[in-house]
Amino acid sequence: PRFPQSMAPDEDAQRLLIQFRDEAGESLGSPFDVPVTITPDKLQLVCNALLQKVRDPRAPPAPPEPTRGLPLAASPALFPQEEPVPLAFFVHDAEIVSSLEKTLSGQSVETEKVLDIIYQPQAVFRVRAVTRCTSSLEGHTEAVISVAFSPTGKYLASGSGDTTVRFWDLSTETPQFTAKGHRHWVLSIAWSPDGKKLASGCKNSQIFLWDPATGNQIGRVLSGHSKWITCLCWEPLHINPECRYLASASKDGSVRIWDTLMGKCEKILTSHTQSVTCVKWGGDGLLYSSSQDRTIKVWRSKDGVLCRTLQGHAHWVNTMALSTDYVLRTGAFEPAEATINPQDVSGSLAELKDKAQQRYDQVRGQEPERLVSGSDDFTLFLWRPAEDKKPLERMTGHQALINQVLFSPDTRLIASASFDKSIKLWDGRTGKYLTSLRGHVSAVYQIAWSADSRLLVSGSSDSTLKVWDAKMKKLAIDLPGHADEVYATDWSPDGQRVASGGKDKCLRM
Amino acid sequence: QPQNEHIELHRRRYGYRLDYHEKRRKKEGREAHERSRKAKKMIGLKAKLYHKQRHAEKIQMKKTIKMHEKRNTKKKDDEKTPKGAVPAYLLDREGQSRAKVLSNMIKQKRKEKAGKWEVPVPKVRAQGETEVLKVIRTGKRKKKAWKRMVTKVCFVGDGFTRKPPKYERFIRPMGLRFKKAHVTHPELKATFCLPILGVKKNPSSPLYTTLGVITKGTVIEVNVSELGLVTQGGKVIWGKYAQVTNNPENDGCINAVLLV
């Protein structure tokens, strides 16, 4: 006889021994038994209590209220113990949604053994899905090629085929400055991690630096490459809070490290035989560069010495992503502390450096950085470049070339956008395939994660953007409105806006 | 032309005529009219020569005038940025217009039906038997002529053993047997030395296909496991077709282009 849930007392239900473990496999507390009908709410209460005990074994654990989904305005630094962290629970890789019983119904359960439940802390804040286009910013006279929000979300910059870089005022959604200087298409733009400088590279192989507060050029033009610039990347904030060094990758096969203060080239890293498609500055003092010659090279950023060559791809390596990408991009800015009106991060250089270092360590955890690379041979590789030359995993499944890969900000998921009209989600730690997101009718060009890793926006050549829910693994909202292909997409780090630009010369927010 | 300086001497001594300069100025003014009158009236060979010379002169004049004009006017910026800006990830790729994609799909379907495929070397000179096979005379008086020797490069499989020499009709000399081919990937523009798996089709004759004769235009199958290509199911591809692009018997090596 099956009793309805509300009537049956807990003692009648089957009880199981469970043990909480974190993602790295370490156990939290000792095993204890719970009824099989337990729900995630109650599991969360128990787990938070255990976590508090771990954090402060002397203080008596205060019963935390389940506050799921409320964006907490108080900064986590002030109330470390009273704030309950929302958690997600997984049993044998299946998430516990309604109750433990239902999740286990499909699996064989040994009631004698201790069951491992893996808990994952979710982001405390929750980003709401963007639903509509608030404005269409005209101004560029040619296609918009690259779009980027500053690390704090205060400024927005866009580079275009009409050789200008435009800064846009976010509160009024109007144009602010037009930065003229380039003589050819502005192919890539990159914000420094402190948000005070913007570097832009053009098809004439020149790099300009701009000040977002005035729209003027800072320093000299950085020239030296012989062919166009494909990618720019700044040195992370926690290594150097002055944000002085910038790495640039070019079609001529070399990577140059520039000193932006002096305006000259510090180092030239040549080893690739063909165009370098992507360069990333890791947080551990390593620089990664991927190229059309099917290799990825790992360099030491201090002296520019080549450490490793990662081989394995069968065609051009188009794109790379580091697990710590998002935290390196935002530097000392914590998305949970975002306010409606974005502000610059304040504090002395040492404070900023500390904060950035803290955030970096938190995201990275104990393991070395992971790198995922996507290529024209329709596969992705997951590497641990600091340790091994061999890939961790080869991720196949796409039916056309892969244009962009991105780790989610909490490094748990990898999203890959491909020309076969689909986006695939993979597990961030093991590289296992999770799901395919289908909906676009033409090649997907660029993707962007929201700061809490719950939502993903993708822009495609069919002129629409789609917002996907990473938890439900389904389409959340469709954003039509562009007249032509969408070339660039970005989500602001404070989660308030999405900007997209494309062939129809206008920028939509 | 005067042969001595007596004219200058006279001018130095007595100066010019009073109306000399005026007359000279007017004569020069009349020159254009005189010239045109003469050009109109001239006939015959003289005219032809004159007109040719004049035409060349006029071209030169026009050029110098244009150059002077350019010097004065402001030049429009010649370095106008071309239209059609694309982001960095699309730069090395040829964009396909949507109409083209549809028509390509239809063409592909038709080709599949017809069984025709696009190959890099579509037409090859057909090789006759006398060229490829050389007659070997045998017998006590060298009268019998039923044996043939292959004069082109060929491929024999791994487990190949000759038939007993008395009954062997086709001789494939060991010196002309090759196991590897230099295969170029058309998109990557890189060449690899890959082992041959077999001869798929020789365009000259099916007999050559069975014999394993490799000439220009032959489609061979090569072992591409070195390249690390993978299918969408995750399986590693280890055999692909390539078409031979040179005359191996002349060069001593087999060069081929991979058919992707």
Query: pLDDT digits over A91-120, tens only?
Result: 777 777 777 777 777 666 666 777 778 877
Tell me the one-letter amino acid at B72.
N
Whether the per-residue pLDDT at A64 is higher than 70: the answer is no
**Quick one: B252 and B167 in the same domain?**
yes
Are residues B47 and B162 both part of a single domain? no
Closest-CA distance, A396 to chain B, in angstroms, reads 6
Tell me, what's the pLDDT at B138?
92
DSSP state of A11: G
Judging contacts by C-beta atoms under 8 Å, the chain A residues touching residue B83 are 142, 161
Note whether residue B109 is domain-resident.
Answer: no
Residue B89 in contact with partner chain A when CB distance is under 8 A? yes
User: How far apart (Å, rounded) are the C-alpha atoms in residues A453 and A478?
Assistant: 18
Of B89, B227, B230, the CB nearest to A318: B89
Partner A contacted by B105 (CB < 8 A)? no
Query: In the structure, how many helices (H) and strands (E) does chain A have?
Result: 4, 37
pLDDT tens figures, A391-400: 999 999 999 9
Put simply, the answer to whether B232 touches A399 (Cβ < 8 Å) is: yes
Task: Check whether residue B242 and residue B151 sit in a common domain.
Answer: yes
Question: Which residue range forms the structural domain that includes residue B19?
Answer: 6-58
> Is-contact B224 B206, C-beta < 8 A?
no
Task: Using a CB–CB cutoff of 8 Å, tell me whether B232 touches chain A.
Answer: yes
* d(C-alpha A433, C-alpha A463), whole Å: 27
Specify the DSSP element, H or E, that contains A327. Answer: helix A325-330
Asked if the Cβ–Cβ distance from A312 to B187 is below 8 Å, we say no
Q: Which residue has the higher pLDDT, A333 or A280?
A: A280
Q: What is the pLDDT of residues A142-175, one digit of tens each?
A: 999 999 998 888 889 999 999 999 999 888 888 8
> In this predicted structure, what is the pLDDT of residue A72?
38
Residue B158 lies in a domain: yes
User: Which segment of A58-72, A100-114, A139-153, B40-54 scores lowest on mean pLDDT?
Assistant: A58-72
pLDDT, one tens digit per residue, over B146-161 is 999 999 999 999 889 9
pLDDT confidence bin for A335, thresholds 50/70/90? confident
B214 and chain A in contact, CB less than 8 A: no
A chain contacts of residue B258, beta-carbon cutoff 8 Å: none
Cross-chain CB nearest to A397 (options B89, B228, B232)? B232
> What is the band of A25 on the pLDDT scale with cuts at 50, 70, 90?
confident
- pLDDT surpasses 90 at A209: yes
Written as six digits, the tokens of A449 are 């994660």
| pLDDT, tens digit, 9 for 90 and up, residues A457-501 | 999 988 889 999 998 889 988 888 888 889 999 998 888 889 999
Say whether both B145 and B50 belong to one domain: no
The nearest alpha carbon in chain B to A317 belongs to: B89
Split into its structural domains, chain B has a count of: 2
**For residue A66, pLDDT beyond 50:** no
Query: What is the pTM (predicted TM-score) of this model?
Result: 0.65
Residue B51 lies in a domain: yes
* Position with higher pLDDT, A98 vs A271: A271
Whether residues B231 and B151 share a domain: the answer is yes
Residues of chain B contacting residue A318, judged by C-beta atoms under 8 Å apart: 89
Is the predicted pLDDT of residue A386 greater than 90, yes or no? Answer: no
Residues of chain B positioned with their CB less than 8 A from the CB of A445: 87, 89
Q: What is the pLDDT of residue A63?
A: 44
Q: What is the pLDDT of residues B202-252, one digit of tens each?
A: 999 999 999 999 999 999 999 988 776 766 556 677 888 999 999 999 999
Asked which of A193-197, A293-297, B17-21, B77-81 is least confident by mean pLDDT, the reply is B77-81
Which run of H or of E encompasses B222? strand B219-223
| A251, A314, A403 member nearest B228 (Cβ) | A314
Q: Do B144 and B235 belong together in one domain?
A: yes
Chain A nearest CA to B149, separation (Å)? 41
Q: Are residues B147 and B251 in the same domain?
A: yes
Interfacial A residues in 182-221 facing B (CB < 8 Å) = 183-185, 187-188
Q: Does A375 touch chain B (CB under 8 A)?
A: no
Q: At what angle do helices B45-72 and B20-41 cross, to 10 degrees?
A: 120
B49 with B145, same domain: the answer is: no
Strand pairing category for B219-223 and B190-201:
antiparallel
Q: Which residues of A touch B102 (CB under 8 A)?
A: none
Q: How many CB atoms lie within 10 A of CB B101?
A: 10
Between residues B71 and A455, the one the model is more confident about? A455
For residue B102, being part of any structural domain is answered with no
In this structure, the answer to whether residues B40 and B136 fall within a common structural domain is no
Q: Which residue of B has its CA nearest to A378?
A: B232
Are the Cβ atoms of A185 and B92 closer than 8 angstroms?
Answer: no
**pLDDT-based confidence at residue A225 (cuts at 50, 70, 90):** very high
Residues B54 and B140 in one domain: no
Is residue B48 classed as helix, strand or coil in its secondary structure? helix
Residue A401 has pLDDT above 80, yes or no: yes
Could you give the domains of chain A? 15-56+85-121 (3.10.20.90), 136-508 (2.130.10.10)
Q: What number of other Cβ atoms are within 10 A of residue A282's Cβ?
A: 24
Task: Decide which of B260 and A211 is more confident.
Answer: A211
Mutate to test the interface with B, among A200, A229, A416, A487 (most CBs of B within 10 A): A487
pLDDT value at B86 more than 60: yes
Final residue of a structural domain among B58, B73, B91: B58
pLDDT confidence of residue A77: 36
Residues B150 and B235 in one domain: yes
Which chain A positions have a beta carbon within 8 Å of B89's beta carbon? Answer: 277, 318-319, 403-404, 445
pLDDT, mean over chain A? 84
Residue B222 has a pLDDT of: 94
Q: Per the domain annotation, does B40 fall within a domain?
A: yes
DSSP for A81-110 reads TTPPPPEEEEETTEE-SS-HHHHHTTS---
In a domain, residue B88? The reply is no
pLDDT in the model for residue B117: 65
The answer to whether ipTM exceeds 0.85 is no
Residue B189: its pLDDT value, please? Answer: 82
Split at pLDDT 50, 70, 90, the class of A59 is very low
- CATH of residue B151's domain is 2.40.10.310
For A396, the closest of B81, B91, B232 (CB atoms) is: B232
Is B140 domain-assigned? yes
Q: Has residue B78 been placed in a domain?
A: no
A377 touches B at CB < 8 Å: yes
